[in-house]
Amino acid sequence: MKQLLDSVWMRRGTSWIWDAEALAQVCTASEVWSLRQFMQAARNWPDDLPSNDNNTLVVAGLEGSLDVLPPDEAEDWLAAEVKGALLSFQSYYEGQAALVFWMPSGAGRLTTNPATDAVAWRCAHPHSQASLDFGRVLWGEATDYPQEILLRQGAKASGLFHLRIT
């Protein structure tokens, strides 16, 4: 998988981050929206975004929502509802803003197949043997993206970044 050392993920595209240092670089805790706020805003986006000098919206709660649903329902919901809101955000801000999903357990649960760069989400107990085909559902397996976000050379990945989802 390609790696990204640039800070573009803080200003453009969609990211899924799990590193507290990365989160602190883009927002304060009081600026983070709940998943519910994000889904409701998809009908009427604000002109101003709360973080990073009006460049970024950080959303928490996606992983918890995925965890309470059985895998087949979670995948359907991700495809129908979350992707729809994500595409709405991208369209409204014309690709000139960043949407960041805070997923604190993402480092251990978002897995990448090194041969294909396919990305999956490992489900929680009692479905821990199952996974969601994250890449296929959200970005149709476009293998040019996502890219691993690195905060510095040689560091572990802090998240995944995708410039434009179609």
Instruction: Provide the residue ranges of all domains of the chain, joining segments of one domain with +.
Output: 3-162
Sequence-distant (≥ 6) Cβ neighbours of residue 28 within 8 angstroms? 51
- At 151, the pLDDT band (50, 70, 90 cuts) reads very high
Q: What is the mean pLDDT of residues 60-82?
A: 96
Segment 78-129, tens digit of pLDDT:
999 999 999 999 999 999 999 999 999 999 999 988 888 889 999 999 999 9
Is this structure's pTM higher than 0.85?
Answer: yes
Q: What is the pLDDT of residue 139?
A: 86
- CA–CA separation, 163 and 13 (whole Å): 4
**How many residues are given for the chain?**
166
**Which residues have a Cβ under 8 Å from the Cβ of 148 and sit 6 or more positions away?**
1, 2, 3, 4, 157, 159, 160, 161
User: Given this model, what pLDDT does residue 36 score?
Assistant: 97
pLDDT tens digits for 14-47?
999 999 999 999 999 999 999 999 999 999 999 9
Cβ–Cβ < 8 Å for 29, 70? no
